[in-house]
Structure formats: structure tokens, C-alpha cells
Structure 1
Amino acid sequence: MNNRLYVGNLAYSTTNESLTHAFGEFGAVSSAKLVVDRETNRSKGFAFVEMETEADAQAAINGLDGKSMDGRAIKVNIARPPERREGGFGAPRSGGYRNNDRY
């Protein structure tokens, strides 16, 4: 098991401090980071919270998943590792035009 948690369905008014406080009731919190939009600096409605131990993480899941926080029923589970993303600048692509195929 992992001690990094995904927290979803958060209210836009939720702060890193309120996350730390809520999760701190279930053990030591290493970090709490809201994910924010780069352009507007507004919360995207989810965060990642890292607990000190796996036991603390499981206690937080059991205690907070589905509970109300800032008026919203939050979703708490183990964070999955990020998936490899394809596309974007510099990434290999298949299909489309290539210089030697045009003529």
C-alpha cells in the first residue's frame, strides 16, 4: 500500500491548511497540495495528501471517504502513479503528414 492519497470532489474554498487539519485527525500529514489551474490560480477540485505512514493513510481513507468537507462529500483513496502521456511538442506521433510523404 501507499501513503499518498487522492482527495476528490473538493469545494473551491478548500485550502491546503484545511486539508492538513482534517487529515491530521487521522495521523501525521507530510504534505497537502491542492491542484490549481495555472491560468486562474483557482482550485481544480482535487488534491494530494501524503501521510507519514500507511496506517495513517488507511485510517484517513476509512474516516474521511464520503464524508462532508466544506459542504461537499469528498472522495479519498490511494493515489495511482501518473500515467505516461502521449502527444504534445516533441513527442513521437504516428500517422499524419511527414515531409517525405507529401510529394
Structure 2
Amino acid sequence: MASIPGGLSSGSSSSSGFQSPFGDTTFTKVFVGGLAWETHSETMRLYFEQFGEILEAVVITDKNTGRSKGYGFVTFRDPESAEKACIDPAPIIDGRRANCNLASLGRPRPVLSFGKKLL
């Protein structure tokens, strides 16, 4: 079999294939979900500034329509700031109850109620 140039390895040593310009963000990057469709990155930044210095705040948008997908990420300079930002897992941002947690933890797990998962 012939070797294919530019194959799957693509030169990245990261297991996810993505290198953050901020280095290791395991304890500094916060996922923010449930945002209002009209919430912009600057509005999100203004809310989270109370917890510490922010390197980046971005609301994820659809590349074709430019509309918000209803979630974003905030990257703090210090892990302590990210931890403070997640103390309230359901903050009110732009008049809507959002949800946030460290991005490295993945998607929030469903709450168990009476032994059954809520979907």
C-alpha cells in the first residue's frame, strides 16, 4: 500500500487534533450553554469579567448563517477564575438562564430523579 501525504496524522501531536493558542486550557476554559440567540461574545465577556481576567470569550455561530448556536466558551487566564465562574452552574446571562462548567468535563450529565434519567 502506498503512503498518502497529508494523511490522518496531519502533524498534530494533540490527541484532539486542536492546539489552543493559550496552551493547556483544561482548567481555564468554561463551556457556556443555553445562551439566548441574540447574545454576542461581548455580552458574555461582560458577564464573566467579574470572575477574573479573560483571554477569550466567543459565542459559537453557524458558519453559513452567522446565527448563534446558543453556546460559547470563555477562556480565563487563571484556573481560579474559571472555578469561580462555575460556582453558579446556571447563571442569568442576557436575561436568560444559561449553564456553565469547565469545558474539559464535557457535556453536563442528566440529573437523576427517582432513579430515572431525565432526557
The TM tier, using the shorter chain, reads 0.7 to 0.9
| Structure 1 unpaired stretches of 5+ | 83-103
Structure with greater contact order relative to length (CA < 8 Å, sep ≥ 6): 1
Q: Judging by fraction of residues, say which structure has more helix.
A: 1
Larger-gyration structure (1/2) = 1
| Structure 2 unpaired stretches of 5+ | 1-25, 107-119
Q: Deviations over 1:68-93 (max 9, x none)?
A: 112221111011389xxxxxxxxxxx
Question: Which among 36, 39, 62 is matched to residue 87 of structure 2?
Answer: 62
> Which residue of structure 2 aligns with residue 73 of structure 1?
97
Among all aligned residue pairs of Structure 1 and Structure 2, give the percentage whose two residues are the same amino acid: 31
Aligned mates of 1:71, 1:24 — CA distance in 2: 17
Give TM-score scaled by structure 1 length. 0.72
Root-mean-square deviation (Å): 1.7
Question: Which among 56, 59, 75 is matched to residue 34 of structure 1?
Answer: 59
Q: Which runs of 4+ in 1 moved over 4 A?
A: none
Question: Which among 39, 64, 72 is matched to residue 14 of structure 1?
Answer: 39
Q: Deviations over 1:17-66 (max 9, x none)?
A: 11111100110011001110011100000001001100000011114x21
Aligned mates of 2:93, 2:29 — CA distance in 1: 19
